[in-house]
Amino acid sequence: MKNLWSDDEAQRFAEQFATAGAAVAARVYSSRLLGRDPSLVLHGGGNTSVKATCQDLLGRAVDVLCVKGSGWDLVDIEPPGLPAVRLDALRELQQLEQLGDEDMVNAVRGALLDSRAPNPSVEALLHAFLPHRFVDHTHANAILALTDQPDPELHVRRALGDSVLVLPWIMPGFPLAKAVAEAYAASPDCTGIVLAKHGLFTFGDTAKASYDRTIELVDGAERYLQRELGGTPAMLLGDPAPLSMSERTAALARVLPVLRGACAVVSAPGAGGSVVAGFARVVADARTEDDLAAFGMHAHAQRLCLSNPITPDHVIRTKAHYLYLAPADVADPGRVRRLVAEYEDAYRRYYEASAQRISPDHMHSPKPVVAVLAGVGVVALHHDVKGARVAADIAAHTLRVKASGDALGDYVALSDDDVAEMEYWPLEVAKLGKKQPLELAGQVALVTGAAGAIGAGIVEVLLERGACVFATDIDGERLQQLPSRFAAFGPRLVTHVADLTDAAAVEAMFAACAVRFGGVDCVVPNAGIAYVSSIEDMDQAAFARVLDVNTTATMLVLQAAARMFRLQQTGGSIVLQASKNVFAPGARFGAYSASKAAALQLGRIAALELAELSVRVNVINADAVFGDEQIPSQLWAEVGPDRMRARGIDERQLRDYYRERSLLKQPVTARHVGEAVAWFASMRTPTTGAVLPVDGGLPEAFPR
C-alpha cells in the first residue's frame, strides 16, 4: 500500500480551510487520503477525528472532539463534516458501566457546540476515550482478510507483530468504546488496535503520524497475504474459466430483466392474473471484471455467497447473503425466479430466528440486493442508481476479501445473531436516511428520438421525477448535447446511438439498456421524421422512408418492448408520441400524417395485446412544439419554411399563428409533452388505449 501524503498538498488544504484551524484542515486532508483508497473505506465507511480547541458563544476556549458526522464521506469531507463536540462532556461518560444507545446519542448530541451540526459518528465516544489528538478508523480489506478466520488473532500477530492489540468482535457504541479504552490503558505502547471482523484504529499526535501508521499496518497485512497466498487467490484467476467478455454482456442482457423483475417489491394490489400492477422497482449495477466473473465459477463460490459479510457495517447496504446463480441458472428464467423466491424464504427464516427480537414489527425487504452470476460477475439491485453503485462496490470488494480469506485458511464471519443486531440496529439503519423517493424512482425509461426538441423535453421531465433514462437517437452529434445539458442527473442518464429501422439495432438497444440498468419500465417511441409534399408530387422513396422511420421503426420498438416486459413480469407503460395530424392532417403533409396514423393504430393494438402483461399503452398527440435555442425542433426545420411561405409570415409570426389558433391560446412546449409522458409513466390510473392531445386545444384534432 502506497503512502500518499504530500506536504505540499497538506499545505494547500491548510490554506483552503484556514478559517477552520490548522488541526481541522490537516484532519480534512488526511481523511480524504484515506477516503481515496476503496481498499480502506467505502461509501461513508470508517471515521476520523481530531481533538482541538474552539470558542463557544461567550468567547471561551473549549476543548472539543471534531469527529466525522453522519451523512459525510471521507473521500470529500470538509470541516462541516467534522462537528465539534465538547470533549469533557464525552470523557465524563467513561465512568459509566453501561449506557444505552438512545442515551448515548442524546448525550453526544447534547454536547455539540452547534446544535445544527450533523449527528457525530456512533463511535464518537471511542475517539474521545483515546488520548491521542488524531484517531483514524478504517475497514481495510487486508485487515479483514486476516481477522475473518477461526482464530482472528493468529494471522494479525504473524503479520503485524505484538505491538498491535487485537480485540474480538464487540458491538459498536458504548461497549466498544469502553473496551478499546481499557485495552489501550493496559498497553499504552501499542501501535494500533485491530477489531476482529470490523477494522483498524490508529492514532498519533499529528494527522500525518496517524495516517502513516494506518498505511504501515495495512501494508504489513497486504505483504503478509502476498507471502502466504503467493499472489492473487486462485478462485479469482479463472480456473475454471469464466465466460468471455462478449458472452458476459450477452448473458447480462438475458438474465437481468428476469432478475430485476423477480426482485421488484409488490407495492400495490394486483390487476388480476399472474402479473402484479404495482411494484417498487429496482435498477441494476453489474460488474464484470475478470476476477469477479471467475469467482462465481469456483467450487467454493456458493458457500462464500451464503456466508456473512466481511464486516457487519456492510449489511445495511448489501444484506448478509448474496444470491448465487450457477451457469445453468443464468440461462433459465424459471430457475432465476425460483431461486429468488427461495432466497426470500431463507431471509424470512433468518429474520424470525435472529432479528425479530430486535425489530418485532418491521422486517426489511426479503429480496436479494446482490447476486453473483457464475462466469459473468456480480450484480447489485437497488431502488436508485447511487444505492446500486454503492452495493456493487461493496460486493466487489467483499468477494475479493472472501477469496483471500478462503485461501488463507477458512473464511469465518460473524454469526447470524451478530449480523442481525447490526442490520436492525436503529443507529445503523439511521445511516440510510428517510428521504422520500421521487415519484419514478426505480423506473427505467427508454426514449427514442431523444436528441430532438420533444425528446429532450421528455428526457428532462423523466429525470426530474427520478427515473433512469436510456436516451437514444440516430444523430449521435445532437445526442451528445444531453449529458452536458442534464449533467446534474449524473449516471441516471445514458445515451445510445441506434437506427430504429434496423431490427437488429433495436434489439441491441434494448439489450444495452438491460445491461446498463437491468431492464425497461417505460418505453417512449418518439422518433420521427417529416416530409413536405403534395400527393401529386410525392416521391415514392421519400414516402417509404417516412413510413419506415415513423411506422415500421415504431413496430420494431413495440415488439422489443413486449419481449422485455414479458421477461420482467412487472407490467410497465408505453407512451407513443403520435401527432395532432392523426385526426387533423394538413395539406402537403400526407406522408407524415399517414405514418403517424399508422403508428397510433399500432399503439392501440399493443394496448389490446399487452394488457395481459399489465402494460399500459397510451398515445400523445402533440402539435406546434418548436423547441428552444439549444435544441430546436427538427420537424419544424423541415416543415416551417413551407408553412411560412404558404401564409406569408416569418418564424416569429408562425409561432404566434399556431398559438392563437388553439382554444387555450398558449404555446405548447417540449416540457408539456414530457409532463404528459411522466403522468402516464406514473400509472396512477388504470388507463390504457387512451389518446391525450397536448396541442393547446384544437377542436378538429379532438380524439374520436
Q: Which residues are catalytic?
A: 592
Who's near 356: CB < 8 A, 6+ residues apart?
Answer: 363
319, HSE (Cβ side, Cα atoms, 13 Å):
25
SS3 assignment, position 204: strand
CA distance linking residue 387 with residue 280, whole number of Å: 14
CB-based contact 200:214 (threshold 8 Å):
yes
Give the number of other CB atoms < 10 A from CB of residue 465.
20
Q: CA–CA distance from 386 to each of 40, 265, 397, 514 (Å)?
A: 20, 18, 17, 17
303 three-class SS: helix
Torsional sign, CA 445, 690, 627, 537: positive
- List all residues 6 or more positions away from 74 whose beta carbon is below 8 Å from its beta carbon: 31, 32, 34, 35, 41, 44, 45, 46, 47, 48, 68
- Give burial (CB, 10 Å; 0-12/13-18/19+) of 437: exposed
Grid cell in block for residue 324: 448465487
Q: Which 3 state secondary structure label does DSSP give 168?
A: coil
Q: Dihedral of the CA atoms 123, 30, 132, 427 (nearest 10)?
A: 0
Q: Which grid cell sits at 640?
A: 416551417
Q: State whether the Cα torsion 507-510-513-515 is positive or negative.
A: negative
Per DSSP bridges, beta strands 84-86 and 323-325 are: unpaired
What count of Cα atoms within 13 Å lies in the side-chain half-sphere of residue 216? 16
For residue 280, what are the β-bridge partners? 265
Q: Cα–Cα distances in Å, from 156 out to 16, 186, 231? A: 39, 19, 18
Burial class of residue 507, CB neighbours in 10 A (0-12, 13-18, 19+): middle
Give the burial string for 299-311 (b: 16+ CB within 10 Å, else e): ebbbebbebbbbb
